[in-house]
Amino acid sequence: MIKTPPERLANLDAIRGFALLGILFLNIYFMANNFYGYAPHHPEKTADIVIEVISNFVFEGRFISLFSMLFGAGLSLQFCKAGNDDTAHHTAKKRLHWLMIFGLVHGVFIFSGDILLTYGLCGLLAYKYCALAPKTLLAKSIKFILLAMVVIALLSITIEDEPFYRGSAYYLQQLDIWTGSYATQVMMQGMMVGYMLLIIPISLLWYGAGLMLIGIYLMKQGYFHRGFSAKQLGIFAVTGIIFSGFDSVLSLSSSAMLKEISGIFMMLGAIPTALIYWHIIVKLCQNNPLKLTLLQNLGRVSLSFYILQSILGVLLLRHWMPQWQMSFDRIDYMLLAIALSVLQLSLAALYVRIFNQGPLEYLMRVLSKRINT
C-alpha cells in the first residue's frame, strides 16, 4: 500500500474533484480533434447552438479558472507550511518542475490540450509572490490578467482560419490525422506543444499566474473556509452573465477573428462564475471529510485521474471508436463526458479505499524528495 500524505483539507479536495470533472466537459471535444475540437454542421443544428450557448455560460473556462485559483491556494498552503525552511521551499519548486515534465510527456504523447506544463510555469511565477499582502496580491493579479488580455486581443486580430465544418475538405483532412496513425498524432501534438511553449510566456503565463494569485488571496482572506457574501455573489453573477453574453454573441459569428475575440470575454466571464462555484462547494462541504465524499475522493487523486481521463477519451474517440468523430453531435459528447465522469467517481471511490495517494501523486512526491537528497 502506498504510504501517506499529510492531513487532507476537505474543501480543497472537493473543489479539486469538481473542477476535474468540469474540465472533461470541455476537453472531450479536443480528445477527438486535438486542433479544432468540435466540428459544427453547416448549417449548424439548433441543439448544437443551444448546448454551445449553455456551455459559454456554465463550462467554458470556468473549471480551468477554478483549478488555477485552487492551485494558487495550494501554493499558499505550501509556502506557509515551509516557513523559513529553504529546503521545503526548494521541494515545492521542484514539484512544479516535475509537473512541467509530466505535462510535456502528457502533451506530446497523450493529449496536447495539457494544462500541467502551463500550471508548472505559472506556479513558479506565482510562488514568488506568496508572501505579499492580500491587497497587493489582488492588484498584481489584475495587472497580470489585463496584460494577458491585451496580448490575446492582439493575437486575435491576426487569426485567419480555413472554414472548418462537418464535411468540408479541411475537416476531412483533420479527420484523417486524428483517426490515423499514432505516430502522426504524436508529431502533430509535439508541434502543438512547441507552439504552446512560444505562446505561454507572452499570454497564458500571465493569465494563469494572475488566477493563481487570486487563489492565494482567497486563501489568505479566509474565503476558503467561509465563502462569499450575498453582495459579492450578486456582483459575480451579474459580471459573469454580461461577459458570457458577449462571448456567446461573438462565438456564433461567421468571422474567425470575432470568434477568437470572444475568447477574451469567455476568460473574463469565467473568473466570477468560478468564484460562485468555489462558494457553492465550500458551503456544501463545510470542510467536512464526510460530505461530498465522491468529489473529495477524486480530488485526492486528481493528477492521476486527469491523465486517466485523457487516456480514456483519446483511446475512445481516436482509436477504439473513431467513427464517433463523424457521427457525434454536441449532445453525444456531453453524454460521453457524463459516462466518463461516473466512471471516474466510481474508480476513485474504490481506489482510495486501498491507497492513500494516486500513483502519479506518489511518484511526484518521491521524485521531489529524491532530487533534494
Mean per-residue pLDDT, 249-271: 84
CA distance 329 to 163: 18
Residues 266-287 have a mean pLDDT of 95
Q: Which residue has the cell 498524432?
A: 185
Domain borders along the chain are: 10-372
Q: Give the length of the chain.
A: 373
Q: Is the pLDDT of residue 60 over 80?
A: yes
Range name among 20-34, 112-126, 160-174 with the lowest pLDDT average: 160-174
Q: How far is the CA of 126 from the CAs of 121, 236, 249, 296, 313, in angstroms? A: 9, 24, 33, 25, 31
* pLDDT of res. 169: 87
What is the per-residue burial (b if ≥16 Cβ within 10 Å, else e) of 144-154? bbebbbebbee
pLDDT digits (tens, 9 = 90+) for 327-350: 999 999 999 999 999 999 999 999
pLDDT (0 to 100) of residue 292: 96
Tell me the residue type at 50. Answer: V
**Region of poorest pLDDT, from 63-77, 83-97, 103-117:** 83-97
Query: What whole-number distance in Å separates Cα of residue 187 and Cα of residue 279?
Result: 42
pLDDT at 162: 66
Which pLDDT band, with edges at 50, 70 and 90, does 158 fall under?
low
Kindly report the pTM of this predicted structure: 0.92
- Span of 71-75, 105-109, 217-221, 257-261 with lowest mean pLDDT: 257-261
* DSSP per-residue letters across 129-140: TTTS-HHHHHHH
- Residue whose grid cell is 483532412: 173
Question: Which of 3 and 14 is assigned the larger pLDDT?
Answer: 14
Nearest to 125 by CA among 44, 191, 201: 201
